[in-house]
Amino acid sequence: MDFLLDNPEVEKIYQEIVKMIIPLKNGIVSDSMKARGIHYKVNLGASTVSLLELSKRYPKNHLLALKLWNKGWRETMILASMLEEPNETTSDQLDYWVKSFENIEIAEQMSMHLLAYVPDVYEKAKEWALGKKQIVKYTGILLMGRMALVDKVTSNEMFESFFEVLPPLSKDATLRSVLQRSFIQVGKRNKELNELSLMHFKHLLTIDSPVTQMMAQDVIDELSSPYVQDYLK
């Protein structure tokens, strides 16, 4: 990761934000998340809505985002995703952040607020989807669906390359839900990708795996449904 010279003004804002997070604490939410297996070094249980409102008070700033991420609290890491400048991120930084994810909540917040807006992140999505750690795989797949939802200008060719990850990942039951959700989004992007999605998922039906076949059939049913087809007209 790149090292940046500190900035007194950014440090002041960082300290101010940390102080403003404390009153947002909700012990019931924190305990509930822990009981559901969502673990962080520090989790105050602040709502993501309140964190989003807090983030809107400040301009995006790369150094500020790095400081917030390095704090290591759930709330500061989520705020880092909201306050980072997508154009200022580096490949090493993104790899470091994604590989340090501990649960799907932070993966979802990062994908929603930052990763989907990083320039030329398509290759990263495929790289992560085929990574070693399960949370890294999850993030890459999740990001594919998020980009299909928010990126209205990128050519279909970039999304077509995502189908390469399906055969090696489709047998993994722990990834079934995120694969299904993300590729439904890809298949709903336009008519051409819908037809291509149906072709690839029909091919998955021939793979000798109940997990693959069930997931493929669910995606086919959704993408061929009358309401999706009417939407794409």
Region 17-38: what's the mean pLDDT? 96
> What is this structure's pTM?
0.94
pLDDT at res. 2: 52
Residue 56: both structure tokens together? 């809107």
Whole-number CA gyration radius for the chain: 19
pLDDT at res. 5: 64
Query: Per-domain residue ranges for the chain?
Result: 1-93, 149-233
| Overall size of the chain counted in residues | 233
| Residue 90 predicted with pLDDT over 70 | yes
Report how far residue 15's alpha carbon sits from residue 122's, in angstroms, rounded to the nearest whole number. Answer: 34
Region 151-176: what's the mean pLDDT? 94
β-bridge partners, 42: 73
Share the mean pLDDT of the chain. Answer: 95
Closest CA to 85 of 105, 112, 106, 113: 113
Helix (H) or strand (E) segment spanning residue 123: helix 122-129
Residue 123: both structure tokens together? 């290759």
Region 28-33: what's the mean pLDDT? 96
Region 5-25: what's the mean pLDDT? 94
| Residue 1 predicted with pLDDT over 80 | no
